[in-house]
Amino acid sequence: MFIVKKKKGESEDKLISRFKKKTLDEGIILEVRDRERYKKPSERKKETKYRVAHMIELEKKRKY
């Protein structure tokens, strides 16, 4: 958990952008998205297998 306080002379837009950057750095958004829907371990394994195969395919295309 983190706290973002407004600095002296800081605009609200700048404050919001600092907040967004903090949440991305902490990985909070990704964690929330993962927790929205439970995935079975077999489903996760299938996704990682697909992701690895996709990355290998992209590497092959880049080498040509």
User: Is residue 26, in this structure, part of any structural domain at all?
Assistant: yes
At 29-63, the pLDDT tens digits run: 888 888 888 889 999 999 999 999 999 999 999 98
User: Is residue 52, in this structure, part of any structural domain at all?
Assistant: yes
Whether the predicted model's global pTM rises above the 0.75 cut: no
Looking at the 3D structure of the chain, how many domains does it have? 1
At 5-30, the pLDDT tens digits run: 999 999 999 999 999 999 988 888 88
User: Is residue 21, in this structure, part of any structural domain at all?
Assistant: yes
User: Is residue 43, in this structure, part of any structural domain at all?
Assistant: yes
Spatial neighbors of 22 by CB under 8 A, at least 6 apart, are 2, 4
51: containing domain? 12-63
User: Is residue 4, in this structure, part of any structural domain at all?
Assistant: no
